[in-house]
Structure 1
Amino acid sequence: MVQDFFNWDVNIFLYFNNLGSPQWDAFWLLITEKETWIPLYVIFLILLYLKFGWKKTLVAGICIALMITCADQFTNILKNYFQRYRPCHNPDIQGMFRAIGCKGRGMYGFTSAHASNHVAVAIFVGVVLKKHYKYLIYILLFWAMMIAYSRVYVGVHYTGDIFFGMLIGVVFGIGFLYLYNYIIKKYKSKLD
């Protein structure tokens, strides 16, 4: 059953990856790089600081750092368990897709840490700031999905890697929201 899913997933990947064209390659390569989004993470911290002060921002920042670390490590555990080659390392499909972002990537790709981390951050920040920025969560989820798609576009993840990575992001995003809210309520007098 798992192998049937993986075979089906290869066909979906090939379809979406081959929709790409050279004039869009630079854009999607930029989108897929972690460093591109560092300024946005700084903006998140500034918005949190402006709305909640430094103490709650520190708690949120620690939660975000732990959330990303946990989601990232969980995806690494799954990669080592399933040992599913990334498209760019899969000899069965070489030459069938556009591999524009494969240099320096690990061998295995199930599941996507990019997808899990960015979805988790989108949910966490979007919900924490929802009272102040009503539509921010939708913008952040679109941003996370764009980053997730970039991984298919550049040829480093199958669509199933992305889908399950996003599910992991939802779980960790919601889980760390509960942790954040618990800490804020428990230590309310010290954090105000």
Structure 2
Amino acid sequence: MYLFEWFDQIDKIAFTFIHRDMSARWLDAIMLLMRNQYTWIPLYVFMLIWTLRLERSTGLKFICLTILCFAITDYTSSGMLKLHFERLRPCYDEDLTTVVRGIIGCGGKYSFPSSHAANHFGLATFWFLTITHITRQKWYWLWLWAFLIGLAQVYVGKHFPFDIVAGASLGIITGLTMYKLFDAWSKRDYDRNSKNNVILQQEALGI
């Protein structure tokens, strides 16, 4: 029990540093913008346009697994783990009543793990690995995108740092799993198409 209490204190110290000690009025506006879902609509439109330029079956796989990745991370974090662990958000924690600045509403009562971190790290992981697989291009900025959203959640007072770490871990595992499904799905389709092509060639040759 002592270990958990010590860890909780370290987490609260880190939260206090990020939320209060490194705060600035100009940074408040940026961080509120970073964690706002509507800020990233242009990015999602860009990703949709990029996907539509792929070969049709590849694009369909990419869209389906993107949706599945988001659904899994969101439901697992919000619908299961938060209700299981019941860790109070910083704004509900009595130890932090003089620390939380109240620049945004509290929202839901529980914070562990962060759904924002889980969702965005899940997408970042799946997109990064899959895009690298398809194009050999490494979009490292996806990791920065997910990290900044996670940092913003702590900065505005919505989450403790460990909430972000746990959410990011869930997201990375889910994103990696979705990439493995994409790879297996693509290989199965490739093998099936290759087999069909062989059969067609044999029929054309009268074999």
- SS of structure 1 residue aligned to 2:104: coil
Q: Measure, in 1, the Cα distance between the counterparts of 2:45 and 2:187.
A: 25
Q: Which residues of structure 1 form unaligned runs of 5+?
A: none
Q: Measure, in 2, the Cα distance between the counterparts of 1:99 and 1:160.
A: 20
Q: Which residues of structure 2 form unaligned runs of 5+?
A: 195-207
- SS of structure 2 residue aligned to 1:110: coil
- SS of structure 2 residue aligned to 1:96: coil
1:32 is aligned, of 35, 49, 56, to 35
Q: CA deviation at 1:27?
A: 1.2
Shifted more, 16-25 versus 38-47: the winner is 38-47
Runs of 4+ that moved beyond 3 A: none
- 1:153-192 to 2 correspondence within 5 Å? 153-188=155-190, 189=193
Q: Measure, in 2, the Cα distance between the counterparts of 1:71 and 1:177.
A: 14
Check conservation: 1:99, 1:156, Cα contact below 8 A: no
Check conservation: 2:51, 2:63, Cα contact below 8 A: no
Deviations 1:95-136 (A, max 9, x none): 213331225x10000000111111111111112112536331
- Answer 1 or 2: higher relative contact order, Cα 8 Å, separation at least 6: 1
Shifted more, 34-43 versus 113-122: the winner is 34-43
Q: Percent identity among equivalent residues? A: 30
Look up the equivalent residue of 1:37 and give its one-letter code. Answer: W
Question: If you compute each CA radius of gyration, which structure gives the higher value, 1 or 2?
Answer: 2
How many residue pairs align between the two structures?
187
Q: Counterpart of 1:92?
A: 95
Question: Aligned pair 1:23/2:29, yes or no?
Answer: no
TM-score by length of 2: 0.84
- 1:77-88 to 2 correspondence within 5 Å? 77-88=80-91
Look up the equivalent residue of 2:66 and give its one-letter code. Answer: I
1:75 is aligned, of 74, 77, 88, to 77
Shifted more, 40-49 versus 13-22: the winner is 40-49
Q: CA deviation at 1:62?
A: 1.1
Check conservation: 1:48, 1:129, Cα contact below 8 A: no
Check conservation: 2:12, 2:160, Cα contact below 8 A: yes
- SS of structure 1 residue aligned to 2:55: helix
CA RMSD of aligned residues (A): 1.7
